[in-house]
Amino acid sequence: MTANELRKLYVSYYKERGHQLAAAASLVPENDASVLYTSAGMQPLVPYLLGKEHPLGKRLVNVQRCVRTGDIEEVGDDYHLTVFEMLGNWSLGDYFKKEAITMSFEFLTEKLNIPVSNLAVTVYKGNDKVPYDAEAIQTWLELGLSKEQIFCYGDDENWWGPAGETGPCGPDSEMFYVNDLPDCSEECGPDCSCGKYVELGNNVFMTYNKDKDGNLTELKQKNVDVGLGFERLLILANNLQNVYETDLFVPLINKLEEISEVSYDKSNEKTYKIICEHTRAAVFILADPKNIVPSNSEQGYILRRLIRRTIRMIHKLGVKKNILPELAQEVIEIYGEAYPEIKLCRETIIEELKKEYDKFDKTLQSGLKMANKYFGKLQAGECLNGQQAFKLYDTYGFPIEFTLELAGEKEIIVDVEGFKGKFEEHQEKSRSGAAGKFKGGLAEHNRNSVRLHTATHLLNSALRQVLGDSVFQRGSHINSERLRFDFSFHRKLSEEEISQVESIVNKAINESIDINCIEMNVEDAKESGAIGIFESKYGDVVKVYVIPGYSLEICGGPHVSNTAELRYFKIIKEQSSSSGVRRIKAIVDLD
């Protein structure tokens, strides 16, 4: 079964059961302070999981590209990927546990022909506040699983959420493929990492709302969020060992072998996998409609890190020329049918990869000079200290393996343990710095963030009035205290221009204008003059928010009902974000 066939099979199965196809969203979450990239199919649906009516109804299905960057260094094994696809289906206050579990089971066993005997599931065993999930257990038993195939775990394994400190949460029931391997111990089960149990997907039952004090109350709208790992199902459907044997990667590996003139074998297998996986990830990110480019912060930093690690691996193969554009072309061909928008971004993708290669190639040469400077002060048998090894990694992007290779040529020892200590210090600082970003999640969708979201519409309109129609939104980030708005413009704004923008927004606020929402198809939205990125995420029916006299914009919401609720608008900073993109930080008069 090809990748394209599996996607179509999944979508058609759920459409036959009353689900509407919800178009995939951008890789950059819209107005979500919790993560840099969309890491799950449910993220774009947050407003609807919280009770907002979805224009397509209560049953949805889609295939969502996701990015998870926590294990970049682990890419190259059989399991870790930075970019993957999530097969998702949802019930927004419609059916619940029994129906969701039954559909998941039938898709796995009837459509993918996975033997029931090779399945195992986990369910929530309960605690002093929430009872064990008897309904899920009974459903699995009725479908034909034995008691020995059902495992009960607690909060660590079978409780989902909330995504932030507060919000929807509830028990879940995960599904696993059981490999034909012996138990690693008497305690062996789905929570074990021995390799016998491979997770296929998860049925999440959003049953409760958790408040800031940890109290749980039952939700009026109980939702189901089901996510299945596309690549893992593709492996199973074709009886393969890992994702690199599927049609998502085989053509790319063959292309790399051809253009590098280096044979693919066990000695360079991991290097090959990293190059192919990271190139694929970079292509997806560069093709995103939010116009992400390599930079030293946030989404752009992750992209730069992926590209530069790829370049290092290309050098490790012994290839001195820039083969990234040719590899990217192959990725575009592989995914062109499923994601035709990637083909439209071909030139941009190739251009950015060329620019980043040229930049890092110079950095790489500088790093080699620094390494030789360190080595020049040492004799054979002496030791490069951990601080120096980490500087080569942190400043010049040298992995410890590369430093070890360089040192070995000069018979110099490297303090690897010292390097690891410095690296762990660096990771701890990074985790601490990221704690605030991952703290928000669903909790950030409160009254203040809604008001700031509405303010971005007025700000966008005001910027276009003052600077011209060539201005377009390039990204936004909202928390409970301020908005950040990126837009296309080539120079710093003058104080007079900033004052004009503020005046236009505050004029709209003072006029106490009612904000209307109109549902229409995409073509009508275009003809109406609504602005927005006309990407596939909107689907056939879109919501257009109208602030008469000021703004006509496609958006998923949420918004205030009247501009007066914003009270007052103030720009607190205007600066460069990246080449050709400016950034404004602003506030409104909050509660």
In a domain, 179, yes or no: yes
pLDDT at 431 over 70: no
In a domain, 319, yes or no: yes
Q: Which of 85-89, 165-169, 405-409 has the highest mean pLDDT?
A: 85-89
Residue spans of beta strands (DSSP E) within 489-550: 516-521, 541-547
Residues 172, 230, single domain; the answer is yes
CA-CA distance, 422 to 418, in Å (whole number)? 6
Which residue has better confidence, 339 or 298? 339
CA-CA distance, 500 to 40, in Å (whole number)? 40
Residue spans of beta strands (DSSP E) within 211-277: 216-229
Q: How many other C-beta atoms are found inside a 10 Å radius of the C-beta of residue 379? A: 9
CA-CA distance, 198 to 299, in Å (whole number)? 30
Asked which of 77-81, 268-272, 412-416, 417-421 is least confident by mean pLDDT, the reply is: 77-81
CA-CA distance, 36 to 290, in Å (whole number)? 12
Question: Can you give the residue range of the structural domain that contains 516?
Answer: 446-588
pLDDT at 402 over 80: no
In this prediction, residue 438 has a pLDDT band, given cuts at 50, 70 and 90, of very low
Average pLDDT of the chain? 87
490 is in an annotated binding site: no
Supply the pLDDT for residue 400.
Answer: 79
CA-CA distance, 63 to 15, in Å (whole number)? 13
In this prediction, residue 534 has a pLDDT band, given cuts at 50, 70 and 90, of very low
In this prediction, residue 164 has a pLDDT band, given cuts at 50, 70 and 90, of low
Structural domain ending residue among the three candidates 422, 442, 462: 442
Structural domain ending residue among the three candidates 417, 442, 467: 442
**Count of CA atoms in the C-beta half-sphere (13 A) of 259:** 20
- Radius of gyration (C-alpha) of the chain in whole angstroms: 26
In a domain, 358, yes or no: yes
Q: How many other C-beta atoms are found inside a 10 Å radius of the C-beta of residue 135? A: 16
Nearest of 381, 352, 271, 258 to residue 315 by alpha carbon: 271
Residues 230, 277, single domain; the answer is no
Q: What is the β-pairing status of strands 20-21 and 541-547?
A: unpaired
**Count of CA atoms in the C-beta half-sphere (13 A) of 36:** 16
In a domain, 376, yes or no: no
Phi, psi dihedral angles at 136 (to 5 degrees): -65, -45
* The model scores a pTM over 0.85: no
66 is in an annotated binding site: no
Residues 259, 237, single domain; the answer is no
| pLDDT mean over 311-335 | 92
Residues 302, 388, single domain; the answer is no
In a domain, 514, yes or no: yes
CA distances from 224 to 104, 154, 173, 503 (A): 12, 19, 11, 45
| pLDDT mean over 570-586 | 90
Residues 215, 308, single domain; the answer is no
169 is in an annotated binding site: no
- Tell me how many degrees the CA angle 44-45-50 measures, rounded to the nearest 5: 135
Q: What is the CATH number of the domain that holds 461?
A: 3.30.980.10
354-368: pLDDT as tens digits: 988 987 777 777 788
Phi, psi dihedral angles at 458 (to 5 degrees): -65, -40
Contact 419, 401 (CB under 8 A): no
pLDDT at 433 over 70: no
Residues 14, 159, single domain; the answer is yes
CA-CA distance, 493 to 359, in Å (whole number)? 28
In a domain, 222, yes or no: yes
In this prediction, residue 476 has a pLDDT band, given cuts at 50, 70 and 90, of confident
pLDDT at 519 over 90: no
Residues 41, 175, single domain; the answer is yes
Nearest of 522, 450, 515 to residue 55 by alpha carbon: 522
Supply the pLDDT for residue 591.
Answer: 64
Structural domain ending residue among the three candidates 306, 339, 370: 370
Domain count, the chain: 4
pLDDT at 126 over 80: yes
Residues 424, 510, single domain; the answer is no
555 is in an annotated binding site: yes
pLDDT at 526 over 80: no
Residues 496, 572, single domain; the answer is yes
In a domain, 375, yes or no: no
Q: Please return the burial class of 182, using the count of CB atoms within 10 Å of its CB with bins 0-12, 13-18 and 19+.
A: exposed
Q: What is the CATH number of the domain that holds 54?
A: 3.30.930.10
DSSP state, residue 241 = S
Supply the pLDDT for residue 443.
Answer: 40
CA-CA distance, 159 to 153, in Å (whole number)? 9
